Structure 1
Amino acid sequence: MNISKHRTKKMATILASLLLLAACSSNNGNSTQPSVTATANNTGSNSSGAAEESGDPVKIQIMANVLAADSPDNQKAFVEVLNKKLNVELDFLAPPASGYEEQLQLTLVSGELPDVIFFPSEQDEIFLNAVNDGAVIPLNDYLDQSSNLMKYSYERSWEALKTLRDGNVYGIPRTSITRYDGFFVRQDWMDNLGIEMPENNEFTVEEFTELLRKFTFDDPDGNKQNDTYGYGTYLNASKVLEPVLLSELGHLGWQNYGDGEYAYTLPEYDRNSDIYKNVLQYTRDAYKEGIIDPDSPINNVDAASDRFSRGITGVIRGFVGQVKSRQAKMQETNPKAELAYVTVKGPDGEVKGGVYGTGIWGVWAITSEAESPEKAVEVFDYLLSDEGWDLVSNGIENIHYKFEGGKKVYFDDASRGLYTLRSIVRRHDDPSFFMSPASYSEEDIQEALPAIQKSVDAAVSSLDQGYTPPAARQPNYMDYKLTWDELTTRMMLGDLPLEQLEQVRDDWYKNGGEQYMKEMNEFIQSSQ
């Protein structure tokens, strides 16, 4: 399928600027990418219909930050298996990870496109521009024959990749398995204080709050010092304080909560609901009481994680699949440290967690230069087949592992290799993905899987699907969003009265929020 490319004066200007930048860079102006190529045979050929008819492998050039130029041999062996299985010659262009987006822009404006390009996000301007310029082609004709891609990707992911809203799908999703994350808790502190774990590790809000109090005031580490805090939160990337509880207080993202001005709303903007006010109130009260780490307003996520590891805080939010590895790391300095994983029940008595986005962790796009787009799509479809997924998940015998006594024993370098393979595709319904057999014992995996499945089952997808309304790009809206972030954080810290939320919300509507709500509701209604 050939799609004409539209190049504008603006693109030419960008190209000139980027080429100048590249000429000044450390690679002395050489924008040629190192590649990781594994050839099916020694003859090689150009990718074309004639090559397929003659039996020669179809060459598919892929630009991605997945396989590095210094990839271990087990990764190259994996590519070799694909080549032989599918009669292709995969050639991975591997720009430096730190400069991937710059190289991506250079490639797009040059007009010399590989067959497949990996884009970090379906919402990035660079991807949207590539679609609008015709550098990326629709895949509908090929997806009809791709049963594995359709079966193991979220429906909302395909909807999100209808970028131009013309019914065409412009990429293959690299799936992100959506889940609800609960909390890491110091089990040894609970034992020291005689605190019993509730049934199914599910706390009520009241029980959770009492746990934070005891971790703060009852000397849980037994050192006779007043040096611990119940919870550690942090400033997120937008410099907004992360609330302690969110979904646990009924905030499930964009939903139809009922009785609102709009059919669909986010609790932040709902003038007829107290959900967001309760979210702010809980964190405000906990901070005032002193059961939140007082350094939280200056910590980022890494600092909060470090203070938990050092035994300053006793609870942080995290992913259940990392309990074992997190505990092992803590035991390097504190052999007695033990972790448990808990959740907090919501207003209806159930464990639920609102999750945002499209279920996409990057996009594989086929370019207008691809001579065999159907073959490129076939590669990704095969990787999600039962046979392909087994290779992705478990590796290759005698390459990643060997059998000893009827059990797989993984080689020392297998972990990095399998991590890379699992960064190409994912099945949306296989949470075992999160625990590589090269990094965890079979016993650890089987122990963790029920809790991982529970976190997946508890996820409630926000209906916005990661959509950003045009109103959000208006200057007045963008300016007031910064004001909103500052004022709501100050409310959580007690610097402003919570009653001011009503005025802040009204001002948001006056600064583009009204149009934002209309556009978001139109989108959600169109996607239902």
Structure 2
Amino acid sequence: MVHIQRSIQSRGMMTLFKGKKGVKSAALILAALTMAISGCSSGGKTNDPEQPSSTGTQTAKESDKPKEEPVELTISTPPFEKSFPPGFQDDPVMKEIEKKLNIKLNIIPANAVGDVNAKFAAQLASGDLPDISWIPSGELIAKVIAAKAALPMDDYLEKHAKHIVEEAPFRIEYSRKMLSKSTDGTTDGKVYIMATGGDSQSDPVEVQVAPYLRYDLWEKLGFPKLETMDDYLPVLKQMMELEPTNADGKKTYGVSAWFGDSWGDWPFSGGFGMFEGKSLVGNWGVYDMETKEITPYLTDPDSYFWKAVTWYNKAYRLGVLDPDSFTMKWDNYLEKANANRLFLGFAQWTIEGGRKAFQAAGTPEKDYFQMPAPNKLDKYIVSYSLPQGSYNFFISKNTKHPEKAVELLDFLISYEGTRLIANGVEGVHWDAVNGKPAYKKEVLDGLKNDADYKIKSGIYKYHNLARGWDIIDPKFNIPIYYMFQPEYVKERLSAAQKKGAEHFNVELPADLYMKKKVKYLDTSFTMDLPAYTEDASVKDEFTKIEANLLTYVRNNQIKIVGIKTEEQFEAQKAKFIEDVKKIGADKMMQWYKDAMAKKK
């Protein structure tokens, strides 16, 4: 699961510093690795570029034979697609990590925490932090720096993070430039934060974010027109009448949300923007990847934010929105989705568990399909390019094992670590056959038929700790998630996916999006966006405005969804816009536009 541009809180992560030297270095290294593979392979064997060197971190071959007791590290993490209890894990992938690094990892996933922001804030205040911590929202980064809670990694990089230095140097540059600022805007330019995730992650079968609808019920209803998001609302109502309860007799709903979670604004700031080829950027602006224009997110009554809030309000008034949406956390939402109590999801990672449950119950004819984009625009954000990463981690300055903590982050971001997390253990889950990776039959069967296979095997279980899925693996010169290979793509299609593709006259569901002219948002454009923190004349004022806007939006956007009449909704919408203007939203946007004009 990749939570693309997950929340207002993390919008600062979209800002990108792109150093030419770092990009060139990465390109040269990748080219050299690829040449080594293609030029030195013979007899069906592939030469692995990750060979021991005289300097750098401990090699995989050396670490296969730990001479000492494993070092125990605790790490807090983002939520994963599949929930699992916190603690030490014993699946084959985690055992392989222990074998290679001589580390036993105590994992605390956000799925198991509850209010992850509140817990993190308490840990930061007390100093009682894990060895490695995930920072759950963007505005907390400066607080970590101000608290001097993070270990500067600079002195450890050359010896203990050779993979990051050689394979992902831009993440180091970005960390120094963008993730080392304290709450007062000052920076010492050191590396305190390192991010996993990121890069682009496009699945050839399905795009990640789209309307995912119960295809079997849509077919029963006679394929009613679905050209706009409003068209979905009466269809969802009819689906609730067709199937009022799930297999366990529990009430079903047209759609739900996790508004009560720390990233509960994703239903507003994520999917609806991607449907229009737009993205939330700094200073509460909306960037149109086709026109390159930036418009207000909060005060424009026609922004995609207001389109999303309006749609959820209509769903609430029609009775198709799950009433628990207002307080529900992500884990609770996922529990309902996995139990097939919802008919519409806005991302592949919201319906995957339900799809597996239908298969396990022997009802594969019931399934979800990735529907066409709900607009007629020839643009859509299929994927973000995030070379800086997307999930920010830091090492506690109080850790007893700084070298091992750095080595773990290095391994997770490396090609080797990402390959392991994405595909499992070579020789156990897959083999190299004639110079190409091939999954074992029992793995393919398990992934297809067992809803819990990822948890048991470790394959993809820790996906948010790796780097990215369609980066090119230098070992085989193909996307590093081997399920993206043509021989596996069609095998992954369910009956509903095949029927839906035929209905829409495409080979694969994703073709409904991949054939659009504008589909990838390269976040490197944000390198040229101005930052008020660098303008001494407004920095203090705008810092307060930013904090006040964030508080107001969090407290009021969900309340508007629950308004019972259209007239009351319009009145509260007008009040909301007027209130954020008074706080200073338009003042920030005007400064932003003026600063942009000066750059031209």
The answer, yes or no, to whether TM exceeds 0.5 is yes
Relative to 1, partners in 2 of residues 1:501 and 1:318: Cα closer, same or farther, differing over 3 Å? same
Distance 1:334 1:168 in 2: 55
Cα pair 1:181 1:455 within 8 Å, conserved: no
Q: Note the 1:81-480 alignment, pairs <5 A.
A: 81-83=99-101, 89-90=102-103, 92=105, 105=123, 109=127, 117-121=132-136, 123=138, 125=140, 128-129=143-144, 132-133=147-148, 135-139=150-154, 142=158, 146-150=165-169, 160-164=178-182, 165-176=187-198, 181-195=209-223, 204-205=227-228, 209-217=230-238, 221=242, 231-234=254-257, 236-237=259-260, 246-247=272-273, 248=275, 252-254=279-281, 255=285, 264-270=294-300, 276-285=305-314, 290=318, 292-293=320-321, 295=323, 300=328, 314-319=343-348, 325-330=353-358, 335=363, 336-346=365-375, 348-352=377-381, 359-365=389-395, 367=397, 377=406, 380-400=409-429, 408=440, 409-410=442-443, 415-419=456-460, 422-427=463-468, 429-430=470-471, 444-445=491-492, 458=519, 460=521, 470-471=543-544, 477=549, 480=552
Please give the per-residue CA displacement for 1:21-57, whole angstroms capped at 9, x wherever unaligned: xxxxxxxxxxxxxxxxx97657549xxxxxxxxxxxx
Paired letter, 1:252: S
How far residue 349 of structure 1 moved from its aligned partner, in angstroms, is: 3.7
Distance 1:426 1:360, change over 3 A: same
- Work out whether residues 413 and 467 of structure 2, in 8 Å CA contact, stay in contact via their aligned partners in 1: yes
**Counterpart in 2 of 1:53?**
none
Listed one character per residue, the Cα deviations across residues 44-81 of structure 1 (whole Å, up to 9, x for unaligned) are 49xxxxxxxxxxxxx97643147975431634641354
Give the Cα–Cα distance (whole angstroms) in 1 for the partners of residues 126 and 509 of structure 2: 43
Instruction: Tell me the secondary structure at the aligned position of residue 352 of structure 1.
Output: strand
Indicate the SS of the match to 1:389: helix
Structure 2 Cα separation of the partners of residues 493 and 435 of structure 1: 50
The answer to whether residue 577 in structure 2 is matched with residue 505 in structure 1 is: yes
Deviations 1:190-231 (A, max 9, x none): 2223328x9xxxx531xx5445434534897389xxx99994
The CA RMSD measured in Å over matched residues stands at 5.9
C-alpha distance in structure 1 between counterparts of 2:564 and 2:520, whole Å = 26
- TM-superposed CA distance for 1:129, in Å, is 3.2
Q: Go from structure 1 to structure 2 and tell me whether the alpha carbon gap of 1:452 and 1:136 turns closer, same or farther (over 3 Å shift).
A: farther
Identity %: 13
In structure 2, which of residues 563, 566, 570 is the aligned counterpart of residue 494 of structure 1? 566
Separation (CA, whole Å) in 2 of partners of 1:424 and 1:241: 20
> Cα deviations across residues 380-432 of structure 1 (Å, max 9, x unaligned)?
4455444443333323245556899x851349787453345545322264498
Counterpart amino acid of 1:173? A
Deviation at 1:512, TM superposition (A): 4.5
Residue 86 of structure 1 is matched in structure 2 by none
**1:454 and 1:158, CA in 2 relative to 1: closer, same or farther beyond 3 A?**
farther
3-state SS of the aligned residue for 1:426?
coil
CA contact (8 A) 1:234 1:298 kept: yes
Cα displacement string for residues 429-484 of structure 1 (whole angstroms, at most 9, x for unaligned residues): 449888989xxx8754478996679889946478699999632575x656644664
For structure 2, the 5+ residue unaligned runs are 1-61, 78-84, 202-207, 245-249, 447-452, 473-478, 498-506, 534-541
Of 119-128 and 100-109, more deviation after overlay is shown by: 100-109
Structure 2 distance, partners of 1:379, 1:461, is 28
- Measured in 1, the distance between the counterparts of 2:121 and 2:552 equals 34
Question: What is the SS of the residue equivalent to 2:132?
Answer: strand
Could you tell me which amino acid in structure 2 is paired with residue 170 of structure 1? Y
- Confirm or deny: 8 A CA contact 1:252 1:353 kept in the other structure: no
Shift of 1:173: 0.4
Equivalent-residue separation in structure 1 for 2:481 and 2:565 (angstroms): 35
Give the match for residue 75 of structure 2. 64
1:136 alignment partner, SS class: coil
Following TM superposition, by how much is the alpha carbon of 1:329 offset from its aligned partner in structure 2, in angstroms? 1.1
What is the alpha-carbon distance in structure 1 between the residues aligned to residue 154 and residue 382 of structure 2?
A: 33
Q: Deviations over 1:116-173 (max 9, x none)?
A: 623343647488335652642153964897122237x698777542334444332220
2:102 corresponds to 1:79? no
User: Structure 2 counterpart of 1:253, which letter?
Assistant: L
Matches of 1:349 and 1:501 in 2, distance apart? Answer: 30
> What amino acid does structure 2 have at the position aligned with 1:390?
R
SS of the residue 2:152 aligns to: coil
Contact 2:326/2:558 (8 A) holds in 1:
no
Instruction: Note if contact 2:286-2:295 (Cα within 8 Å) is conserved in structure 1.
Output: yes
Bigger drift between 179-188 and 292-301 goes to 292-301
Change in Cα spacing, 1:491 to 1:154, as seen in structure 2 (3 Å) is farther
Distance 1:364 1:417 in 2: 24
Q: Residue in 2 aligned with 1:485?
A: 557
Query: The residue matched to 2:356 in structure 1 has which SS?
Result: helix
Quote the offset at 1:314 in angstroms: 3.4
The one-letter code of the counterpart of 2:256 is: T
Question: Partners in 1 of 2:63 and 2:122 — Cα distance?
Answer: 25
| Aligned counterpart, 1:24 | none
- Report the CA distance shift for 1:216/1:350 in structure 2 as closer, same or farther (over 3 A): same
Q: Measure, in 1, the Cα distance between the counterparts of 2:64 and 2:510.
A: 38
